[in-house]
Chain A
Amino acid sequence: MNGASKPYGVLAEFTTAASIMHAAEKVRDAGYTRWDVFTPFPVHGMDRAMGLKNSKVGWFSFFGGVAGYTTGMLMIWFMNALDYPILVGGKPMFSPFSAFPPSYELTILFGAFGALGGMLFLNRLPRLHHPLLKNRRFALVTHDRFFLVIECSDPKYSEKDTVKLLEEAGSRHIEVVEE
């Protein structure tokens, strides 16, 4: 991109899991809100260092599971007992016991879709364009580097202070990323 495009945020590079975590604690304590940490693998304890709350994916999965079980039971009751009842071996038209195995499987199926779909929804993925993905240096995030990015849209953002904070946090490579 050319120099006229507007900045997206400040990118700071770290080399160890501990250094990025302490930097995250500093940024959290400084009161920034629109910032993020990028790591090649989930760093244990980072959620707390960033002040993140528990993920809400569980709710998606839970409601998926409830929907699956209900769908299974209602579907089997409708098909075998209401819409087209056929007597087989003198068994009841509908029994929660024989309907349980398929409903159980549907519980898991819908719950799994809820977990994956919820994760993608909460993360706003798929996202095939991201300012950071154009940055050459940032490609190392999937290799062995750790990055901390504070966005310009953060109310506390000022280029000078933000860069200073990240320098104090121990980063040895800081750059401004274009939109």
Chain B
Amino acid sequence: MAEKATPTLTPPPVPRELERVPLVLNQRGFGWISDRVTAITEGSAPFWWWAAFIPSVLLLGLLGFMLAYQITTGVGVWGNMHPVMWGWDIINFVWWIGIGHAGTLISAILFLLRQRWRTGVNRAAEAMTIFAVMCAGIYPALHVGRVWFDWWLFPFPNSNGPIWPQFRSPLMWDVFAVSTYFTVSVLFWYMGLIPDLAVMRDRAKTKLRQFLYGLFALGWTGSNRHWSNYEKAYLLLAGLSTPLVLSVHSIVSLDFSVSQLPGWHTTIFPPYFVAGAIFSGFGMVLTLLIPLRKICRLEEIITMRHIDVMCKVTLATGSIVGYAYAMEFFVAWYSGSAAEQFHFMNRALGPYQWGWLPMIICNVVVPQLFWFKWFRSNLWAVFIISIIVNVGMWFERFVIIVIGLHRDFLPSNWGYFKPTWVDVCTYLGTFGLFFTLFLLFVRFLPMVAISEVKGVTPQADPHHPLGGAGHVERIPDDNEGATSV
């Protein structure tokens, strides 16, 4: 760096407490970042990768078997039965789609808020989003019963009249919300990947890798004229994804709150669902990244500070979720509605109390440990709490859906829901799909946004001494801007 070590500028000393914690530790160079991030994608796959990949593929096979069984037999193999007609399928749909939300929050909202630490984790979180939405998408597609009519959900011209989808139903809104969410997440992810695919192309040793990475890098050269358009497009996609991610779980919650059912028919659902989604998503990001940063030796890029900040987001969203739980009880009491009051008493004290208690413990009580620095800086504690968070969020959806449905206005209409082995195995199978895709992503694509991380290092800043500032005679004073080219 210091080829002409005659600094003409001496930056004023910064008080120690105001010093910025570097985002990449140990002042690593640009090349080191490329080498370290791509290390896992080069050479033969390490043992741990196979040890994780083979069970994942087996679980994926289980999913394939379960899907074939359900499609050929019918959804009667599920535990869904009157009056609980939404069971594990919708619980798992909402759960998976909620997990996806942290990826978009990190990639879009934190980008708009200029949280530069996001660069270390955004790629993996976005991948998590895409794979989680894929897992989620399986459930409504199957829930319709006749999978071969799924295309009726989309407004295709057809020879049946033509009969069109009925857009006054929130379920149709959901189709548009989830499919848009998936598509835009893929676009955003892919656009972020283009410069990094060029990194992979330029490092590739074999012809096949050169060809494939070169094909998907679209001929990226790192031209500044390109970067200029690219950064604008990235900003726009972040700006578009922000209202998108807030709308997706809002619309999912409208599936419930537009109905007349006690416990579902409430205005608190959209913000409450979004907060819960981000809460569970950060739980999943932590679950995935804590082992990965260790195994892939990325501790200097995904630092303890990243973990700390993500724990704080989990704490904040978990507290919002806890507030929403309390507010639901308050509103039930304050509304004076007997059905509403009965529903919430039934939640806490009814036959499904075993579902309500873990929800409260996992989502409201346990995340409060993140107030203490010891828990935020102990990786085992963070890892375990992050899993507890997602267990709790699964129970939240169970509480909303099953407890909401099993006792409505008419006692003669009451029932008790039990899942079947098909429900359980399908759910396990979606983990197979998720982890298979995630491990393939880790092995074949850069799991940290290389060019973005380079861009937040001090030596990337032309006005920073490490970026070379002060090593040239002429200090730029004529930045009077754009003369057209």
A residues near B (Cβ < 8 Å) are 15-22, 24-25, 28-29, 33, 36-58, 61, 65, 75-76, 79-80, 83-84, 86, 88-89, 91, 95, 98-99, 101-102, 104-106, 108-109, 111-113, 115-116, 118-120, 122-123, 125-130, 132-133, 139-144, 170
Instruction: Give A170's nearest chain B residue, CB to CB.
Output: B472
**Majority-rule SS of A interface residues:** helix
A and B contact pairs by CB, cutoff 8 A, 5 listed: A39-B222, A55-B233, A61-B233, A61-B236, A112-B184
A-B pairs with lowest CB-CB distance, top 8: A16-B468, A18-B468, A79-B164, A119-B233, A144-B30, A126-B218, A127-B219, A55-B232
A104 to B225, CA, bound (A): 32
B476 CB-CB contact with A under 8 Å: yes
**Majority-rule SS of B interface residues:** helix
CB < 8 Å: which of A50, A122, A128 contacts B485? A50
CB < 8 Å: which of A42, A109, A112 contacts B227? A42
Q: A19-B472, A79-B164 are in contact. Are A112 and B247 (CB under 8 A)?
A: no
Task: Check B30–A111 contact: CB distance below 8 A.
Answer: no
Q: A25-B476, A104-B247, A112-B187 are in contact. Are A53 and B482 (CB under 8 A)?
A: yes
CB < 8 Å: which of B163, B231, B474 contacts A84? B163
Task: Check B34–A144 contact: CB distance below 8 A.
Answer: yes
Task: Check B1–A16 contact: CB distance below 8 A.
Answer: yes
Q: A105-B251, A123-B229, A132-B221 are in contact. List 8 more A-B contacts (CB 8 A).
A: A37-B224, A51-B483, A57-B233, A58-B236, A65-B240, A79-B165, A116-B190, A116-B233
Task: Check A51–B232 contact: CB distance below 8 A.
Answer: no
Q: How large is the interface on B (under 10, 10 to 19, 20 to 34, 35 or more residues)?
A: 35 or more
B351 CB-CB contact with A under 8 Å: no
CB < 8 Å: which of B173, B195, B221, B233 contacts A115? B233
Instruction: Give A98's nearest chain B residue, CB to CB.
Output: B168
Number of A-B contacts (CB under 8 A): 259
B436-485 residues with Cβ-Cβ distance < 8 A to A are 451-452, 454-455, 459-463, 467-472, 474, 476, 478-479, 481-485
B275 CB-CB contact with A under 8 Å: no
A79 to B220, CA, bound (A): 43
Report A125 CB to chain B, min CB distance, Å: 5
B228 CB-CB contact with A under 8 Å: yes
B residues near A (Cβ < 8 Å) are 1, 3, 29-31, 34, 155, 161-170, 172-173, 176-177, 180, 183-184, 187-188, 190-191, 195, 198-199, 201-203, 214-215, 218-233, 236-237, 240-241, 243-244, 247, 251, 254, 451-452, 454-455, 459-463, 467-472, 474, 476, 478-479, 481-485
Task: Check A143–B34 contact: CB distance below 8 A.
Answer: yes
Residues of A within 8 A of B232 (CB): 54-55, 57-58, 119
CB < 8 Å: which of A22, A47, A55 contacts B472? A22
Task: Check B202–A139 contact: CB distance below 8 A.
Answer: yes
A178 to B155, CA, bound (A): 52
Q: A84-B161, A142-B34 are in contact. Are A38 and B472 (CB under 8 A)?
A: no
Task: Check B180–A21 contact: CB distance below 8 A.
Answer: no
Task: Check B180–A105 contact: CB distance below 8 A.
Answer: yes
Residues of B within 8 A of A141 (CB): 202, 221-222
Instruction: Give A55's nearest chain B residue, CB to CB.
Output: B232
